[in-house]
C-alpha cells in the first residue's frame, strides 16, 4: 500500500529548463546562480519582468528616488518650531566667539601679507616695514568678535593686525621700531597722549594734513612697488597716520616682513630718534645725584 501511495514512483526525472533571460530574482538582482538555474525565493517564485520603453524606465527611476527621499525625511528628527518674535526679544542671547576650528583660513593670503625673510643687513634706521603686531586684549562685556581677535587655548584674547613700523635702532638679532597707525583715519586729535605721537605723511601727498600733536610731520617715501598704490589701501600711507614713539616694538630678523618705504629726510629721522630718547633715563645724571646724596650724608651734622 505504501508503494502504491508513493507519488514519486514511476515519475520521470525532472528536466531543468534553459534559463529565460526575462526571469530574475526579485530579492537580489545580483544573486549567484548555479549553472543555468536562477536563485529562487522559497516564499515566492520569480516572475518575468515586462519589457519597458525609455519613458517607462524613467518613470520607475523617478518613483524610486521619491520613495528614497520620503524614507530619508522620515528618519530625520523633527525640528522645533521657531519661537515667536516677542519671546525672542525678551530673552537676548549673549554673543559668543566663533570656534577656531570653524573659522576660514587662507594660507596663500597669509603668506602674501607677511612677506619674506631677508638678511639682517637690510635693516637700517629709517626703513619702514610692515609685520603683524600681536597684543593681549581683554574685551569688556558685550564685545563683538572681529577677524583681528583670536581666542587662544589658554583663554586669552589676542589682537593681531599688520601695521607699519619705522626702524630707529638695530642690534645683532633684532631691531627696535616705532609703530605707525591712523586709528581708523581719525588721527590722534583729542587723545590725552597725543603729544606722544608725531605725524607721518607720504611724499605723494600734494597737500598733507598737519600733525595732530605739537610735533611737526615727518615724510616717508614709499617703496617703488607701492608708489602706484591707491588711497585707502594698506600700502598707501594714510593722511592721518602718526608714529607712537613712546610705544617701541622689537622685531626679530628671522621673521617675515615687507618693505613699505623709507624716511625721506635724515633730519626727520633724527627728529624721531630724538623724541624717542627724550624721556629715556640719563645714567650719568642718576649716578651724580646718588653721589651728591652720599656726600651730603657723609658730612657731619652742624657743618
Average model confidence (pLDDT) across the chain: 75
Q: How far apart are CA 160 and CA 145, in angstroms?
A: 13
Task: Convert the pLDDT of each residue in 169-204 to its tens digit.
Answer: 999 999 999 999 998 888 888 888 888 999 999 998
* pLDDT bucket at 10, cuts 50 / 70 / 90: low
Specify whether the CB–CB gap between 216 and 197 falls below 8 A.
Answer: no
Q: Is residue 151 exposed (0-12), middle (13-18) or buried (19+ Cβ within 10 Å)? A: middle
| 274 has pLDDT over 60 | yes
Q: How far apart are CA 268 and CA 169, in angstroms?
A: 15
Specify whether the CB–CB gap between 218 and 243 falls below 8 A.
Answer: yes
Per-residue burial over 241-252, b = 16 or more CB atoms within 10 Å of its CB, e = otherwise: bbbbbeeebebe
State the cell numbers at 217.
610731520
Parallel, antiparallel, or unpaired for β 174-181 and 218-222? unpaired
Q: Where are the domains of the chain?
A: 108-285
Q: What pLDDT does 46 receive?
A: 45
pLDDT (average), residues 117-129 = 95
Range in 155-164, 198-207, 238-247 with the lowest mean pLDDT: 155-164
Amino acid at each position: 500500500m505504501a508503494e502504491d501511495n508513493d507519488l514519486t514512483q514511476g515519475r520521470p526525472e525532472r528536466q531543468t529548463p534553459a534559463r529565460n533571460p526575462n526571469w530574475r530574482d526579485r530579492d537580489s538582482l545580483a544573486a549567484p546562480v548555479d549553472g543555468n538555474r536562477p536563485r529562487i525565493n522559497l516564499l515566492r517564485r520569480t516572475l518575468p519582468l515586462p519589457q519597458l520603453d525609455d519613458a517607462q524606465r524613467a518613470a520607475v527611476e523617478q518613483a524610486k528616488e521619491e520613495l528614497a527621499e520620503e524614507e530619508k525625511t522620515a528618519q530625520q528628527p523633527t525640528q522645533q518650531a521657531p519661537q515667536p518674535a516677542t519671546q525672542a526679544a525678551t530673552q537676548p542671547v549673549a554673543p559668543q566667539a566663533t570656534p577656531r576650528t570653524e573659522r576660514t583660513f587662507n594660507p596663500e593670503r597669509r603668506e602674501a601679507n607677511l612677506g619674506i625673510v631677508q638678511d639682517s643687513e637690510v635693516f637700517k634706521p629709517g626703513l619702514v616695514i610692515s609685520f603683524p603686531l600681536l597684543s593681549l586684549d581683554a574685551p569688556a562685556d558685550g564685545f563683538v568678535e572681529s577677524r583681528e581677535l583670536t581666542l587662544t587655548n589658554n583663554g586669552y584674547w589676542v589682537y593681531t593686525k599688520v601695521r607699519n613700523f619705522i626702524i630707529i635702532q638695530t642690534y645683532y638679532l633684532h631691531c627696535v621700531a616705532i609703530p605707525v597707525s591712523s586709528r581708523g583715519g581719525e588721527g590722534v586729535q583729542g587723545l590725552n597722549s597725543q603729544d606722544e605721537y608725531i605725524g607721518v605723511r607720504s611724499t605723494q601727498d600734494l597737500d598733507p594734513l598737519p600733525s595732530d600733536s605739537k610735533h611737526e610731520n615727518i615724510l616717508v617715501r614709499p617703496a617703488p612697488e607701492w608708489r602706484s598704490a591707491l588711497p585707502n589701501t594698506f600700502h598707501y600711507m594714510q593722511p592721518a597716520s602718526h608714529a607712537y614713539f613712546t610705544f617701541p616694538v622689537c622685531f626679530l630678523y628671522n621673521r617675515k616682513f615687507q618693505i613699505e618705504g623709507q624716511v625721506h629726510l635724515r633730519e626727520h629721522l633724527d627728529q624721531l630718534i630724538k623724541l624717542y630718547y627724550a624721556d629715556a633715563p640719563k645714567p650719568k645724571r642718576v649716578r651724580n645725584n646718588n653721589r651728591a646724596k652720599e656726600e651730603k650724608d657723609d658730612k657731619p651734622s652742624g657743618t
